[in-house]
């Protein structure tokens, strides 16, 4: 089975790589950031609760995130697997995930902060369909417009410098402890996330092709 989670700071390329891997392996791509942004856009009760928290760059409270993840995983039914992009992000989320499904691989994206800041400053997104571009490395065909639907591209609210600082801090304080958590179980695969998307995709493929290491404990 390919039950995979991606861990890494904002801007590490998790979303791009999750899209590539899910297409290749024909597995579901579950991005909590995308699900939350969709809830905000649709003004659902969950979206209304999450909106200002996300704009500030903070993590949305665990119970809210768990609710949407559990629902999405249930709705997958029998499948080849999934790639979780941006989840889990706290120890509480990782422990709750254990009660829902085991994982086969956890890929940790390693990247210097300097490269992250460069990438995020150049990142633009389509507010309508969610497509992501990079002004330097993956520009749209027509400047400033989405290739898919022609909508004007925007800098994500939480890619602005102040929210970004908060997001990086949240990653260091709340998500980094998960590296040790999954390493202890023999599930962690560290990859170098610097380079072109296709180069990084090769590393992701290699990291998720092997079987869990000797330290892997059976899951409940």
Instruction: Give me the active site residues, please.
Output: 14, 89, 123, 156, 167
Contact pick of 8, 9, 13, 86 for ligand AMP (by CB under 6 A): 86
Residue owning tokens 């559990």: 70
Contact pick of 8, 9, 13, 33 for ligand AMP (by CB under 6 A): 33
* Rounded Cα distance, 103 and 190, in Å: 15
* Rounded Cα distance, 213 and 162, in Å: 40
Count residues near ligand AMP (CB under 6 A). 17
Q: Which helix (H) or strand (E) holds 4?
A: strand 2-7
Q: Is 120 in the site for ligand AMP (CB under 6 A)?
A: no
Residue 112 three-state SS = coil
In a 13 Å sphere around the CA of 14, the CA atoms on its Cβ side amount to 29
Binding characters for ligand AMP, 38-77, by CB under 6 A (x = yes): ---------------xx--xxxx----x------------
Q: Is 97 in the site for ligand AMP (CB under 6 A)?
A: no
* Rounded Cα distance, 61 and 49, in Å: 10
List residues binding ligand AMP (CB under 6 A).
10, 32-33, 36, 53-54, 57-60, 65, 86-87, 89, 93, 158, 167
């Amino acid at each position: 089975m390919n039950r995979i989670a991606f861990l890494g700071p904002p801007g590490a390329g998790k979303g791009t790589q999750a899209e590539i891997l899910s297409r290749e392996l024909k597995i579901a791509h579950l991005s909590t950031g995308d699900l939350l942004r969709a809830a905000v856009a649709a003004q659902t009760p969950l979206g209304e609760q999450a909106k200002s928290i996300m704009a500030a760059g903070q993590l949305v409270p665990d119970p809210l995130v768990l609710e949407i993840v559990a629902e999405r995983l249930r709705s997958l039914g029998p499948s080849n697997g999934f790639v979780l992009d941006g989840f889990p992000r706290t120890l509480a989320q990782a422990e709750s995930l254990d009660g829902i499904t085991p994982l086969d691989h956890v890929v940790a994206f390693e990247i210097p902060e300097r490269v992250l800041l460069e990438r995020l400053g150049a990142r633009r997104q389509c507010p309508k369909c969610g497509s992501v571009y990079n002004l330097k490395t993956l520009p749209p065909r027509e400047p400033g417009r989405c290739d898919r639907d022609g909508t004007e591209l925007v800098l994500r609210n939480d890619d602005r410098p102040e929210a970004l600082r908060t997001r990086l801090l949240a990653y260091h304080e709340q998500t980094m402890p998960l590296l040790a958590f999954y390493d202890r179980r023999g599930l962690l695969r560290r990859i170098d996330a610097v380079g072109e998307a296709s180069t990084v995709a090769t590393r992701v493929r290699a990291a998720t092709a092997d079987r869990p290491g000797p330290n892997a404990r059976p899951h409940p």
